Amino acid sequence: MYAVTNPATGELIEQIENATEEEVGAAIGRVHRGYDSWRRRTVADRAKIVSRAAELFAERAGELAAIMTLEMGKRINEGRGEIGIVVDIFNYYADNGPDLLADEPMTIKGGEAVITKGPIGPLLGVMPWNFPIYQVARFVAPNLVLGNTILLKHASICPRSAVAIESVLRDAGVPDDVYVNTFASSSQIPAILADPRIQGVSLTGSEQAGISVAAEAGRNLKKTVLELGGSDPLIVLDTDDLDETVKATATARMRNCGQSCNAPKRMIVLADLYDEFVDRLTKRVADFYLPGDPADPETKLPPLASIAAADEVAGQVEKAVEQGATLRTGGRRVGPGAYLEATVLTDVTPEMDAYYEEIFGPVVIVFRAETEEQAIAIANDSPFGLGASVFGTDRERSSRVARQIEAGMVYLNSAGGSQADLPFGGIKRSGMGRELGPAGIEEFMNKKSIRL
Ligand SMILES: O=CCCCC(=O)O
């Protein structure tokens, strides 16, 4: 069942039945039929439609943000910000697609060759609720320009976002059978992946969802992109403005109520700054991030996406404290909606679950490192490898540290966030493949070698 439940109040607004097997089969048939004519259109033609989609997303930013606020509790201003990135992504691939897809001539032993860059066919997208429109955009925009067609299964708590995205694309000129939303259930995904008409799958979601989809995709030899969890480290080497550093790091962690795969979830602070950093961060988190209505632009701490999500994160915090962590502030569930007080934990050790698991909510863990080397070791002591950040005043030192971190992305003096032209993705249990930037259009591409 798909359902819209307001996480700020717990009120159930709408329920939508899952698609039947026949409906899912018909949806696969549509994206399969649509592929032949879509791939034959010129790149310029497809790019023009994608560019029009960017305009429509911008025009509808207010209504799209309101849908996200209702469905998963995103602060209304953050929703508008999300649409800003969505517009950038559609524009980036519309503007750069033709160059990124140009033939690549090669001189090879004994002659010449050319690499042509074409689509591979209908793809399945399985997308999460934390950035309901952005997550879809970074999969869909490059693949539409490339010439693939898309069957999209959105999170069960975001049916209105799913419908709104389909309607923007339709109104922009994407043909009916080129982008199709399906209200399939998770249990129908294996059958979709087993269907010979589907050529690949992109999933953004939990580690567990990644394992299930990768297993089915592997069984069926389907190309896979996985963007999974993260427990990104943020190392503070030194600073000439501690308040600014504290503000920047807290802002990055609390963005989207802490529900970003690439939020800095583990702050690792060098010993000489640690005590002062923890005191100021605790004060900032306790005083600034007060729960409120996500539809009110003044609100700083919205609910989590669902009551279940809030209970889960509260449970992780409780367990950490039972296991010996120090609770500096927060940690309590606040009702009646899906609220959890903004939380700071310290003294988390490798014996505690919180040390290695991802905490997907407004919870900061701060670690103390005696040396730069120990900071790097703590950063890398994680099953995840999505993003990381290094804060410091000496760029050479920060770059040296960045190069030693096991992650797909490292940001100097900033944290979290993403941008259309910069590849995004992780290593280790954070997934495989890249989205955004030039790399994002290559994942489901047939780089065909033609020996001339
Ligand atoms: O949850 C992962 C997507 C993060 C998007 C962003 O930080 O811009």
The answer to whether 404 and 102 have CB atoms below 8 angstroms apart is no
Question: Does 130 contact ligand 1 (Cβ within 6 A)?
Answer: yes
pLDDT at res. 146: 98
Half-sphere exposure of 34 (CA within 13 A, CB side): 22
> What's the pLDDT at 335?
82
Residue with tokens 């649509």: 34
Which atom of ligand 1 is least distant from the CA of 419? 8
The residue whose CB lies within 8 Å of the most ligand 1 atoms, and thus the one to mutate among 82, 127, 225, 262, is 262
Per-residue pLDDT of 96-143, as tens digits, reads: 999 999 999 999 999 999 999 999 999 999 999 999 999 999 999 999
Counted residue by residue, the chain has a size of: 452
- The yes-or-no answer on residue 261 being catalytic is yes
The complex scores an ipTM of 0.95
Closest residue by Cα to residue 121 from 180, 36, 3? 36
**What pLDDT is stored for residue 283 in this prediction?**
98
User: How far does the chain reach from its first CA to its final CA, in angstroms?
Assistant: 54
Taking the CA of residue 130 as reference, the ligand 1 atom at the shortest distance is 1
What contacts 383, CB < 8 A, 6 or more positions away? 356, 428, 429
Q: Which residues on adjacent β-strands are paired with residue 114?
A: 105, 450
Does the beta carbon of 417 lie inside 6 Å of ligand 1?
yes
pTM score, whole prediction: 0.97
Spatial distance between the Cα atoms of 118 and 272, rounded to a whole number of angstroms: 54
- Looking from the CA of residue 418, the nearest atom of ligand 1 is 8
Q: Phi, psi at residue 151, to the nearest 5°?
A: -105, 125
118 lines ligand 1 (CB under 6 A): no
pLDDT in tens, 338-393: 999 999 999 999 999 999 999 999 999 999 999 999 999 999 999 999 999 999 99
DSSP, residue by residue, 203-252? EES-HHHHHHHHHHHHHTT-EEEEE----EEEEE---S-HHHHHHHHHHH
**What's the 132 CA to ligand 1 centre distance in angstroms?**
10
Residue 416, ligand 1, Cβ within 6 A:
yes
The catalytic residue among 78, 261, 358, 406 is 261
Q: Print burial letters for 184-219: b (CB count within 10 Å at least 16), e (below 16).
A: beeebbbebbebebbbbbbbbbebebbebbbebbee
Q: What is the pLDDT of residue 101?
A: 98
Pocket test for ligand 1, best of 261, 384, 421 (most atoms within 8 A of CB): 261
Task: For 259-277, write each residue's pLDDT tens digit.
Answer: 999 999 999 999 999 999 9
90: three-class secondary structure by DSSP: helix
Catalytic residue among 227, 341, 406, 443: 227
Which pLDDT score, from 0 to 100, does residue 127 have?
98
CB 75 within 8 A of CB 302: yes
Going by alpha carbons, the residue nearest to atom 6 of ligand 1 is 417
Expressed in angstroms and rounded, the spacing between residue 335 Cα and the centre of ligand 1 is 27
Question: How would residue 416 be classed by pLDDT, with cut points 50, 70 and 90?
Answer: confident
SS3 446: strand
Ligand 1 atom having least distance to the Cα of 135: 3
Separation of 444 CA from ligand 1 center, angstroms? 21
CA nearest ligand 1 atom 2, residue: 261
Model pLDDT, residue 393: 98
> Mean of the per-residue pLDDT values for the chain?
98
